[in-house]
Structure 1
């Protein structure tokens, strides 16, 4: 590709992205934001209109002459699948180019959900939804995958993630497997990166440039957007933030990792471990009940996350205290990250954040007490716009951002 072709493709992409950022944009507004001549812009707009990426949306206000033609993106020109592979559940969504959810399916990641099983389930769902909507595969840009790391986003390989219930989640060429099953191109990144991409897409009108995303689930994962770009290290260690020391010489999770690490206090694994230890010590019983039960469960091994959260919702005071302490440690970890990275926004997500009433508020309150600087400089905290949908939506955004126009 020569320099002229490269420049033309860049201008086309810039014009399209500017139109997608704000509906009903005039040619004059585009020229204010893009370094492009009027004749070149006319050619780019004609090409985008011809290929169906944009449509004319009406006429704007006159400034003395003819009313200007307005342009907006055509959300239904193409579609994208987004797949969130997590340790607790996985979600497949079909999205238009505005990231509106057209379809969604969720699987529990139990001991049966091997990589091969999940790929087959995804393939069946894609085949079914395309048939029901009379949609050709040519209309699909691809499948974006946000998954638990460690992984290699360039080769599409999931390496050796921990805490999966099913066997086989080691050295999984997930992109190749999905492409072979669905005949669609696939892209991979870690789930916190895609969740951050999704949330940033949802807040794009706010023009936030420095955003921290922290996911608290089976482990603690994080992603950071600096000046609008995802920050990556030499290796993909999205879970490394869980090894941040928040209590020197403190607890250790499953005899692995650092003593006093954040993950040992503020994760699903940590709270399950604490609840089981509490019961083994013969302290006050934790009232674990299921829908069909009206008694305390005697087996310590039955103190899993589902039963713990059920008991928490039923008002178990022992668990309330455990979750409150956990949120405090989460706040310490957040303060450390904010003091180091200095983001404008901090988004908290994950099953742990959503499970307990007050967990989010306590974590944010503790963090704000330990952030260096004046309150006016504190970042804005939130649970995000997309919340549980963030990783799958962001996986679709990843495909959109890398598409060849």
Structure 2
């Protein structure tokens, strides 16, 4: 058995190389408190295992040019699966988290867990054949899913607003593991999305981040000191219950009155627009009963620059900005990533939400959070799902 402390350092060194992309021995020695000879030995072991490669030579600072190391992208491969209410996505990744190929499915009443598993199995075979990869080279399947869920037991609990009623108390990890004979790991999609965006922003060396996803509901994830903050319960959708108007409206028959999700979510937007149409608001929306107007029709009207629909989207964005400001004033993150179907509907939605948030955050000359729609955007949850497995790679 290897020395546990040395094994841990070896794993940390590999993770550091994978995270930075390319790195020299000197760079690693600045980060790890071990001797130069120990670092050389560990690098030689990683090279012998083909976990890392020599990628070239760095810039000389006076002596010989330093050797640069990188993670071997083709040592193994990863599958990442994003399960959301609107669509699900599967990606095949190498160990540098490059997405080699991906496939997407629109969620429908017919897309049950069993049907999705069959689709994933089928597409995995196609992707592997396309890239000439053997099944044995797969490390496993990472899943980022809508909550609430139990990541420890690998069960999706009772998510709201799924078109199929079958997505309740689903032991998703066990079902995939039995069908694919692979390790499977589950986490909230908001968490996996933030993990992936943190990875993509690694050159910025940011450690305190807030991720907010505005779609069918409001989902969030928080990172402090480079680590995802996890409560005693699944709190992915807790931000939606933030009260932004005392005694205000309520979404459906659950949740708080005046909660953020009652003002910033697809069901809320649809409900408010349908209500306005019933009292005669003018719009270029289809001449159908108001209750038949759904989000895809709203997107088309927004593209046509329908003034009424644009007004309602911008009102929603303003409420989102208030919710963002409340969270930012509490957490003081360095980076604030804002995404989701509502935010991505039009650039003006994102800009409005950010501008409102900026006007309501703590006014300090030393605090200026960076707002971004993210680098990976719609691919972030799927990418972060695969990243979970990379972090657990045994070497």
Range into which the TM-score falls when normalised by the shorter chain: over 0.9
Which among 296, 301, 304 is matched to residue 306 of structure 1?
296
Match of 2:162 in 1: 164
| Separation of aligned partners in 1, 2:377 and 2:365 | 26
Shift of 1:18: 2.5
Q: Is the 8 A contact 2:20 2:202 kept in 1?
A: no
The correspondence of residues 97-176 of structure 1 with structure 2, limited to 5 A, is 97-176=95-174
Summarize deviations over 1:198-252 as a string: whole Å, max 9, x none. Answer: 1000001111010000000000010000011100111002101101111111111
| Separation of aligned partners in 1, 2:59 and 2:215 | 50
Which among 191, 196, 199 is matched to residue 198 of structure 1?
196
Which among 204, 209, 226 is matched to residue 228 of structure 1?
226
Q: Structure 1 residues 27, 92: closer, same or farther in 2, change over 3 A?
A: same
Q: Is the 8 A contact 1:211 1:226 kept in 2?
A: yes
Which among 343, 346, 363 is matched to residue 353 of structure 1?
343
2:341 corresponds to 1:341: no
Which among 271, 277, 280 is matched to residue 279 of structure 1?
277
Match of 2:377 in 1: 387
After TM superposition, the structure 1 stretch with the greater mean CA deviation from structure 2, 21-30 or 369-378, is: 21-30
Q: Structure 1 stretches of 5 or more lacking a match? A: 289-295
Q: Is the 8 A contact 1:158 1:173 kept in 2?
A: yes
Q: Structure 2 stretches of 5 or more lacking a match? A: none
Shift of 1:64: 5.8
Match of 1:328 in 2: 318
| Separation of aligned partners in 2, 1:356 and 1:71 | 41
Match of 1:258 in 2: 256
Which among 202, 208, 211 is matched to residue 209 of structure 2?
211
Count of matched residue pairs:
395
Q: Is the 8 A contact 1:82 1:143 kept in 2?
A: yes
| Separation of aligned partners in 2, 1:66 and 1:332 | 55
Q: Structure 1 residues 24, 387: closer, same or farther in 2, change over 3 A?
A: closer
| Separation of aligned partners in 2, 1:8 and 1:389 | 35
Q: 1:84 aligns to what SS in structure 2? A: strand
Q: Structure 1 residues 264, 145: closer, same or farther in 2, change over 3 A?
A: same
| Separation of aligned partners in 1, 2:366 and 2:66 | 41
Q: 2:3 aligns to what SS in structure 1? A: helix
Q: Structure 1 residues 341, 64: closer, same or farther in 2, change over 3 A?
A: closer
Match of 1:291 in 2: none
| Separation of aligned partners in 1, 2:161 and 2:21 | 43
Q: 1:286 aligns to what SS in structure 2? A: coil
| Separation of aligned partners in 2, 1:20 and 1:230 | 19
Q: Structure 1 residues 65, 360: closer, same or farther in 2, change over 3 A?
A: closer
Q: 1:172 aligns to what SS in structure 2? A: coil
Shift of 1:28: 2.6
Q: Is the 8 A contact 2:21 2:96 kept in 1?
A: no
2:30 corresponds to 1:32: yes
Q: Is the 8 A contact 1:137 1:184 kept in 2?
A: no
Q: Is the 8 A contact 1:211 1:346 kept in 2?
A: yes
Shift of 1:299: 2.4
Match of 1:396 in 2: 386
Q: Is the 8 A contact 1:368 1:378 kept in 2?
A: no
Match of 2:45 in 1: 47
Shift of 1:97: 1.5
| Separation of aligned partners in 2, 1:67 and 1:331 | 49
Shift of 1:63: 5.5
Shift of 1:25: 2.6
Q: 1:165 aligns to what SS in structure 2? A: coil
Match of 2:242 in 1: 244
RMSD: 1.6
| Separation of aligned partners in 2, 1:28 and 1:317 | 59
User: TM (normalized to structure 2)?
Assistant: 0.96
Match of 1:377 in 2: 367
